Amino acid sequence: MISSNDFRNGVTIIVDGQLWTVIEFLHVKPGKGSAFVRTRLKNVKTGTTLERTFRAGEKLERATVENRSMSLLYNDDDGFHFMDQESFENVTIQRELIGGPADFIKDGMIVEVQFHDGLPIGVDLPSHVEMKIIETDPGFKGDTATNTFKPATLETGAVVQVPLFVEAGNVIRIDTRDRRYIGRVN
Protein backbone atom coordinates (compact mmCIF):
# COMPACT_ATOMS: atom_id res chain seq x y z
CA MET A 1 0.00 0.00 0.00
CA ILE A 2 1.07 3.57 -0.65
CA SER A 3 -0.28 6.78 0.80
CA SER A 4 -1.34 9.57 -1.55
CA ASN A 5 1.08 11.78 0.42
CA ASP A 6 3.96 9.63 -0.88
CA PHE A 7 3.19 10.07 -4.60
CA ARG A 8 6.16 10.79 -6.83
CA ASN A 9 6.45 10.99 -10.62
CA GLY A 10 6.74 7.49 -12.09
CA VAL A 11 5.03 5.64 -9.21
CA THR A 12 2.68 2.95 -10.52
CA ILE A 13 -0.57 2.34 -8.61
CA ILE A 14 -3.69 0.24 -9.06
CA VAL A 15 -6.93 2.24 -9.32
CA ASP A 16 -10.23 0.53 -10.16
CA GLY A 17 -8.36 -2.66 -11.11
CA GLN A 18 -6.12 -0.95 -13.69
CA LEU A 19 -2.47 0.08 -13.65
CA TRP A 20 -1.82 3.84 -13.64
CA THR A 21 1.47 5.76 -13.51
CA VAL A 22 1.67 9.13 -11.77
CA ILE A 23 2.77 11.76 -14.32
CA GLU A 24 2.19 14.87 -12.20
CA PHE A 25 1.08 15.45 -8.64
CA LEU A 26 0.36 18.47 -6.49
CA HIS A 27 -0.34 18.57 -2.76
CA VAL A 28 -3.06 21.17 -2.08
CA LYS A 29 -3.92 22.52 1.36
CA PRO A 30 -6.85 24.90 1.01
CA GLY A 31 -7.65 27.49 3.65
CA LYS A 32 -10.88 25.68 4.48
CA GLY A 33 -11.40 21.94 4.45
CA SER A 34 -8.94 19.07 4.37
CA ALA A 35 -5.86 18.72 2.22
CA PHE A 36 -5.89 16.70 -1.00
CA VAL A 37 -3.55 15.53 -3.75
CA ARG A 38 -4.35 16.47 -7.35
CA THR A 39 -2.77 14.02 -9.82
CA ARG A 40 -2.49 13.34 -13.51
CA LEU A 41 -2.35 9.61 -14.19
CA LYS A 42 -1.44 7.66 -17.33
CA ASN A 43 -2.99 4.26 -17.97
CA VAL A 44 -0.09 1.83 -18.48
CA LYS A 45 -1.92 -0.37 -21.01
CA THR A 46 -3.96 2.12 -23.06
CA GLY A 47 -1.83 5.27 -22.66
CA THR A 48 -4.84 7.46 -21.82
CA THR A 49 -4.41 10.18 -19.22
CA LEU A 50 -6.76 11.05 -16.40
CA GLU A 51 -6.87 13.80 -13.80
CA ARG A 52 -7.91 12.54 -10.39
CA THR A 53 -8.00 13.94 -6.89
CA PHE A 54 -7.24 11.87 -3.78
CA ARG A 55 -7.72 12.77 -0.12
CA ALA A 56 -4.45 13.43 1.72
CA GLY A 57 -3.28 10.20 3.33
CA GLU A 58 -5.62 7.99 1.27
CA LYS A 59 -4.21 4.47 0.95
CA LEU A 60 -3.91 2.92 -2.51
CA GLU A 61 -2.45 -0.34 -3.77
CA ARG A 62 1.04 0.10 -5.22
CA ALA A 63 1.79 -2.00 -8.29
CA THR A 64 5.04 -3.90 -8.41
CA VAL A 65 6.66 -3.03 -11.71
CA GLU A 66 10.02 -4.48 -12.69
CA ASN A 67 12.17 -2.76 -15.32
CA ARG A 68 14.57 -4.82 -17.42
CA SER A 69 17.08 -3.56 -19.99
CA MET A 70 16.32 -5.24 -23.29
CA SER A 71 17.54 -4.75 -26.84
CA LEU A 72 15.35 -4.93 -29.93
CA LEU A 73 16.25 -7.89 -32.12
CA TYR A 74 13.72 -7.21 -34.90
CA ASN A 75 10.07 -6.37 -35.51
CA ASP A 76 7.56 -8.07 -37.76
CA ASP A 77 3.80 -8.72 -37.99
CA ASP A 78 3.87 -10.54 -34.62
CA GLY A 79 5.29 -7.50 -32.81
CA PHE A 80 8.61 -6.26 -31.47
CA HIS A 81 11.03 -8.99 -30.38
CA PHE A 82 13.26 -7.98 -27.46
CA MET A 83 16.11 -9.85 -25.76
CA ASP A 84 17.00 -9.45 -22.07
CA GLN A 85 20.55 -8.12 -21.70
CA GLU A 86 21.32 -10.41 -18.73
CA SER A 87 19.34 -13.66 -19.13
CA PHE A 88 19.09 -13.57 -22.97
CA GLU A 89 15.37 -14.36 -22.64
CA ASN A 90 13.27 -13.28 -25.65
CA VAL A 91 9.97 -11.41 -25.28
CA THR A 92 7.52 -10.30 -27.98
CA ILE A 93 5.53 -7.11 -27.37
CA GLN A 94 2.66 -5.98 -29.58
CA ARG A 95 2.87 -2.56 -31.26
CA GLU A 96 -0.43 -1.48 -29.61
CA LEU A 97 1.07 -2.06 -26.15
CA ILE A 98 4.03 0.22 -26.91
CA GLY A 99 1.92 2.91 -28.58
CA GLY A 100 3.21 5.91 -30.52
CA PRO A 101 6.86 5.68 -29.37
CA ALA A 102 7.14 2.38 -31.30
CA ASP A 103 7.89 4.53 -34.37
CA PHE A 104 11.28 5.42 -32.88
CA ILE A 105 12.56 1.95 -31.94
CA LYS A 106 15.26 0.65 -34.27
CA ASP A 107 17.14 -2.65 -34.35
CA GLY A 108 19.73 -3.01 -31.59
CA MET A 109 18.28 -0.15 -29.51
CA ILE A 110 18.37 -0.78 -25.76
CA VAL A 111 15.14 0.16 -23.92
CA GLU A 112 13.61 -0.43 -20.51
CA VAL A 113 10.76 -2.98 -20.69
CA GLN A 114 8.30 -2.86 -17.78
CA PHE A 115 6.93 -6.12 -16.35
CA HIS A 116 3.99 -6.61 -13.96
CA ASP A 117 3.23 -10.12 -12.66
CA GLY A 118 5.71 -11.54 -15.19
CA LEU A 119 3.97 -10.01 -18.21
CA PRO A 120 5.33 -7.09 -20.27
CA ILE A 121 3.14 -4.00 -19.85
CA GLY A 122 5.11 -1.27 -21.57
CA VAL A 123 8.37 0.09 -22.91
CA ASP A 124 10.31 3.15 -21.73
CA LEU A 125 12.30 4.71 -24.55
CA PRO A 126 15.05 7.25 -24.02
CA SER A 127 13.57 10.74 -24.10
CA HIS A 128 15.71 11.64 -27.16
CA VAL A 129 16.78 9.50 -30.10
CA GLU A 130 18.95 10.20 -33.12
CA MET A 131 17.57 9.10 -36.48
CA LYS A 132 18.59 9.50 -40.10
CA ILE A 133 16.19 11.20 -42.52
CA ILE A 134 15.46 8.98 -45.51
CA GLU A 135 13.12 11.24 -47.46
CA THR A 136 11.98 14.85 -47.32
CA ASP A 137 11.26 17.69 -49.72
CA PRO A 138 14.39 19.57 -50.80
CA GLY A 139 15.36 22.76 -49.03
CA PHE A 140 16.08 25.94 -50.95
CA LYS A 141 18.68 28.63 -50.46
CA GLY A 142 17.38 31.08 -47.88
CA ASP A 143 15.26 28.49 -46.00
CA THR A 144 17.01 28.85 -42.67
CA ALA A 145 15.69 30.11 -39.36
CA THR A 146 11.98 30.32 -40.07
CA ASN A 147 9.18 28.72 -38.12
CA THR A 148 7.97 26.75 -41.13
CA PHE A 149 8.07 22.96 -41.07
CA LYS A 150 7.86 20.14 -43.61
CA PRO A 151 7.29 16.38 -43.19
CA ALA A 152 10.32 14.07 -43.15
CA THR A 153 10.40 10.26 -43.20
CA LEU A 154 12.91 8.70 -40.79
CA GLU A 155 14.83 5.41 -41.11
CA THR A 156 12.16 3.59 -39.06
CA GLY A 157 9.34 4.85 -41.29
CA ALA A 158 8.11 7.45 -38.79
CA VAL A 159 7.09 10.84 -40.18
CA VAL A 160 7.99 13.97 -38.18
CA GLN A 161 7.92 17.69 -38.86
CA VAL A 162 11.32 19.31 -39.45
CA PRO A 163 12.46 22.84 -40.40
CA LEU A 164 12.82 23.66 -44.10
CA PHE A 165 16.66 23.64 -44.06
CA VAL A 166 16.90 19.96 -43.00
CA GLU A 167 17.70 17.62 -45.90
CA ALA A 168 17.57 13.89 -46.64
CA GLY A 169 20.63 12.15 -45.21
CA ASN A 170 20.84 14.40 -42.14
CA VAL A 171 20.85 12.78 -38.72
CA ILE A 172 18.47 14.59 -36.36
CA ARG A 173 17.56 14.38 -32.68
CA ILE A 174 13.86 13.75 -31.91
CA ASP A 175 11.96 13.97 -28.60
CA THR A 176 10.14 10.61 -28.34
CA ARG A 177 7.49 11.95 -25.95
CA ASP A 178 5.95 14.51 -28.31
CA ARG A 179 7.61 13.67 -31.69
CA ARG A 180 9.28 17.09 -31.74
CA TYR A 181 12.38 17.98 -33.75
CA ILE A 182 15.20 19.12 -31.44
CA GLY A 183 18.17 19.63 -33.74
CA ARG A 184 20.61 18.28 -36.30
CA VAL A 185 23.40 16.01 -35.14
CA ASN A 186 25.63 16.25 -38.23
Per residue in 137-147, pLDDT (tens digit) is 886 666 555 67
Question: Which of 76, 104, 124 finishes a domain?
Answer: 124
CATH code (residue 38): 2.30.30.30
The Cα–Cα gap between 100 and 68 comes to: 20
pLDDT confidence tier of residue 165, bands split at 50, 70 and 90: confident
- Going 153 to 156 to 160 to 166, the CA torsion angle's sign is negative
**Which CATH number goes with the domain that contains 96?**
2.40.50.140
In whole angstroms, what is the distance from residue 120 CA to residue 141 CA?
49
> What is the model's pLDDT at position 126?
85
- pLDDT at 142 (0 to 100): 60
- Name the pLDDT band for 185 (thresholds 50, 70, 90): confident
Provide mean pLDDT across the span 125-152.
80
Same domain, 89 and 135: no
Query: What is the total count of domains within the chain?
Result: 3
For residues 154 and 169, the answer to whether their CB atoms sit within 8 Å is no
Do 48 and 87 lie in a common domain?
A: no
Residue 144's domain comprises 128-184
Instruction: Give the model confidence (pLDDT) of 75-124 as tens digits.
Output: 888 889 999 988 999 999 888 777 778 888 888 899 988 888 888 887 88
Same domain? 43 vs 71: no
